[in-house]
């Protein structure tokens, strides 16, 4: 639990952070809440020479709505996401997912951007970001670029974020009819299986749906076959059952570990897909 020696620098702006990152020449790591990186450093699984603290950059945290989109700064803590009245009102799934992360101490420090950039395969946010079809705004030496969540998560701990880029904020169109359901691992509170479902219900029928899965495999993914089964069908238990029945089909690399076998996880994908859909559809009804 003793990290290797490192320098600590505090960035004053996004550009300052980028400059410091460039100056570190590949040996730098960004830190905000430190709840993914610092444990890895203590275990000496990550040994950055320079830590660049971006938690104090002005306007790096915050939640607001503009032009129909919700924008959340990457430095926003899980606690602030979980307790945001804007999110609870406009996009309750986001707040409820944040409330299920770790424990209060973790939520007080850990940040949205840190979690997404680290991309633990059992983290909660990725499923939610996929279901919301969120857009990630990255800044690098060449300026800004935007990446869709579905393109951002590329594989085990691998994301479309270059070492010299910073994930600055996330935007998405709020969806009220969405819910996140999770079976937590009882030590870490990470997801054994987490399913985020967002539905677009019009005139008693599901126009479209997006369903994100986390925890079950090496990286988060969309449950396309569930989405396709739902699309165009009436809101009914039968529809949910039909969609649930195919949840997880086609996923080959289901995790198998001390806490849950692949077989159990596969069964839980269906259970939690149904729970997420039931709650999302209940929200659509009010």
Partner 1 sequence: MAATPVLPKLVGQRVKRREDPRLIQGRGAYVDDVKIAGMRHLAFKRSDIAHGRIRSVDISAAEAMDGVEAVFTGAQIAEVLAPMPIGTPFPSPEHRAVAVDTVRFVGDPIAVVVACDRYVARDAADAVVVDCEPLPAVVDPEKAMSGESAALHADFPNNVALGPLPSGTGVGRKGAVDDTAVDAAFEAADVVIAQRMVNQRLAPSSIEARGVVAHYEPGREALTIWSSTQNPHILRTFVARMLDLGENRVRAVAPEVGGGFGAKINIYGEEYVAAALSKRLGLPIKWIEDRSEAFLATVHGRDLIAYVELAAARDGKVLGLRMRIIADIGAYNMLLTAGVPTNSMTMANATYAIPAIRATLTEVFTNKTPTDAYRGAGRPEAAYFVERAMDMLARELDMDPAELRRRNFIQPDQFPYKTQMGAVYDSGDYEKALDHALKVAGWERLKQERDAARADGRLVGLGLSMYVEICGMGPSSTLPPGGWEHSQVTVERDGRISATTGTSPHGQGNETTFAQMLADQFGVPLDHVTIHHGDTAVVKQGIGTFGSRSQAVGGAALHDAGGKVKAKMAKFAAALLEAHENDLVFENGTIAVKGAPASAKPFAEVAAYAYRPVRLPEGLTPGLSDEAFFEPSNNTYPFGCHIAMLEIDRETGEPRLLKMVAVDDAGHLINPLIVEGQIHGGLAQGIGQAMIEEVAYAADGQPLTASFMDYALPRASDLPRFELDSTVTPTPVNPLGAKGVGEAGTIGSTPCIVNAAVDALSGCGVRHLDMMLRPEKLWRIIHGQPARSSDA
The verdict on 41 binding partner 1 (CB under 8 A) reads no
Q: Single out the residue of 67, 85, 186, 250 in contact with partner 1 (rule: CB under 8 A).
A: 186
Q: Single out the residue of 1, 45, 66, 285 in contact with partner 1 (rule: CB under 8 A).
A: 1
Stretch of 2-10, 19-27, 143-151, 233-241 contacting partner 1, by CB under 8 A: 2-10
The CB-of-193 to partner 1 minimum distance in angstroms stands at 9
Q: Single out the residue of 23, 25, 44, 232 in contact with partner 1 (rule: CB under 8 A).
A: 44
The verdict on 268 binding partner 1 (CB under 8 A) reads yes
The verdict on 263 binding partner 1 (CB under 8 A) reads yes
Draw the binding track, 103-122, toward partner 1 (x: CB under 8 A; -: no contact): x-------------------
- All residues at 6 or more sequence positions from 100 whose CB lies less than 8 Å from its CB, including other chains: 124, 180, 182, 184, 189
> How many angstroms separate the CA atoms of 120 and 125, rounded?
10
Tokens of 26: 């590949």
In three-state secondary structure terms, 219 is: coil
Q: Single out the residue of 45, 258, 285, 286 in contact with partner 1 (rule: CB under 8 A).
A: 258
The dihedral over CA atoms of 119, 148, 280, 241, expressed in degrees to the nearest 10, equals -90
Stretch of 36-44, 206-214, 223-231, 241-249 contacting partner 1, by CB under 8 A: 36-44
Stretch of 21-29, 127-135, 185-193, 214-222 contacting partner 1, by CB under 8 A: 185-193
> How many angstroms separate the CA atoms of 237 and 39, rounded?
44
The CB-of-87 to partner 1 minimum distance in angstroms stands at 22
CA angle 22-24-29, nearest 5°? 95
Cα-based distances in Å from 169 to 33, 59, 62, 117, 275: 15, 10, 9, 11, 29
The CB-of-259 to partner 1 minimum distance in angstroms stands at 8
Is the separation of the CB atoms in 208 and 234 below 8 Å? no
Look-up of token digits 């999770």: 182
Tell me which residues touch partner 1 (CB under 8 A).
1-2, 4-5, 42-44, 103, 183, 186-188, 190, 258-261, 263-264, 267-268, 271
């Amino acid at each position: 639990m003793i990290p290797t020696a490192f320098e600590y620098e505090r960035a004053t702006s996004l550009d300052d952070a980028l400059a410091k990152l460039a100056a570190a020449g590949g040996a730098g790591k960004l830190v905000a809440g430190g709840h993914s990186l610092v444990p890895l450093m203590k275990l000496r699984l990550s040994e950055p020479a320079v830590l660049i603290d971006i938690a104090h950059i002005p306007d790096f945290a915050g939640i607001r709505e503009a032009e129909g989109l919700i924008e959340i700064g990457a430095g926003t803590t899980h606690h602030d996401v979980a307790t945001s009245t804007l999110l609870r009102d406009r996009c309750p799934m986001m707040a409820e997912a944040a409330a299920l992360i770790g424990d209060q101490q973790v939520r007080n420090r850990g940040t949205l951007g840190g979690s997404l950039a680290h991309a633990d395969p059992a983290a909660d946010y990725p499923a939610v970001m996929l279901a919301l079809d969120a857009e990630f705004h990255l800044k690098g030496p060449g300026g800004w670029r935007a990446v869709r969540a579905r393109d951002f998560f590329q594989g085990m701990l691998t994301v479309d974020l270059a070492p010299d880029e910073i994930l600055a904020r996330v935007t998405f169109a709020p969806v009220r009819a969405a819910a996140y359901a999770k079976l937590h691992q009882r030590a870490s509170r990470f997801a054994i299986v987490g399913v985020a479902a967002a539905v677009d219900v019009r005139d008693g029928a599901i126009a479209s749906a997006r369903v994100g899965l986390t925890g079950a495999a090496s990286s988060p993914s969309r449950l396309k076959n569930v989405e396709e089964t739902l699309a165009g069908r009436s809101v009914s238990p039968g529809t949910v059952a039909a969609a649930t029945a195919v949840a997880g089909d086609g996923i080959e690399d289901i995790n198998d570990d001390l806490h849950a076998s692949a077989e159990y996880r596969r069964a839980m994908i269906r259970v939690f897909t149904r729970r997420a859909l039931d709650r999302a559809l209940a929200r659509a009804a009010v």
